[in-house]
Structure formats: C-alpha cells, structure tokens
Amino acid sequence: MPFNTENMIAIRNLFLIGMLLGAFSLYAQEEEEVPFFRIEKHPYYVQTDTLTGETEEIPFKYFLDQWVIENYRYPQEALEKKIEGRVIVTLRIDKEGHLSIKEVKGRNPLLEEEACRIFDGFPQLSPGLVRGKPVNVVYNYPIIFRIIP
C-alpha cells in the first residue's frame, strides 16, 4: 500500500480511535472493583501510638486476621445443633478505605449471620492503589466454623 495522503489520514484516524477506546477502558477500570491480587499497594490499617504519636502501617491481611480472631464467636444455637461449616465473605474496600460486605456464601444462615457480625465496627483503612490512584478492592475471606471437643 503506497503512503499517500488518504492512507495517512486513515492511519491517523484509526490511531485516534484506538487512543479513545483505550482511554474509555482505563476510565471503566477505575470505576470497577479490582481483585486483591492485581493491586499495586494493598489496603492497610494505620495504627497510631497514643504515647509517641508514631504511626505504623499494618498490612490488611494481618489486620483482618487479628480482627476476626478478636471478634469471632460461635453462635450458641449452632453449637447446640452441632452445626459446622465454612463461610466465604466477599469484602469490598472502597476508594476511601471503607470496608463493606459484598456477598456471603455458606450453607447455614446462623453461620452466615455470625460471619457478617464479625465485621461490625471495622475501622477505616487506607485504600488500595493502582498506578498511584485509590481503587475499589474485592477480597474473599473464608471463615471456618468447627466445633472442637
């Protein structure tokens, strides 16, 4: 194909269309939820020492594990009925660092309800970042309910 004015205009127009489509897909990505493994800087909790005022970044996964351990209670009715199981809680950390429950999957409503209750009062985090910008992050967290004799 010879390079004449018409071909150059067509190539330039195709290039511009490609740039516009690329920009729209980047905008759409920023509004979507990003899986935890694709985050460049994961969410974290900022802990401030009340005596010194020094701050420490606590990684999300570690903070989340500690939170669940401290707030976990086996539902009394589930204990009495010897109900055990696993509940997968899909968490969402928004661009401001607020945690919410997006979805709960389990086989028993008592266990699902307790899994949700565990996250009541969860503090604000520093949000996850992609390309230096805050993004909505989704994270699946399993909670095992097992009766230990």
Nearest to 140 by CA among 58, 64, 67: 64
**Quick one: how far is CA 122 from the chain centroid?**
14
Nearest to 45 by CA among 61, 24, 21, 69: 61
Residues 135 and 126: their CA atoms lie apart, in Å, by 11
- C-alpha distances (whole Å) from 143 to each of 17, 74, 106, 126, 129 are 47, 11, 10, 23, 26
The tens digit of pLDDT for each residue in 24-75 reads 333 334 458 888 888 899 999 999 988 999 999 999 999 999 999 999 999 9
Model confidence at 4, in pLDDT bands (50, 70, 90)? low
- 141 φ, ψ (degrees, to nearest 5): -130, 115
The tens digit of pLDDT for each residue in 85-139 reads 999 999 999 999 999 999 999 999 999 999 999 999 999 999 999 999 999 999 9
Neighbours of 144 (CB within 10 A): 10
Place of tokens 């701050």: 55
The mean predicted confidence, pLDDT, of the chain is: 85
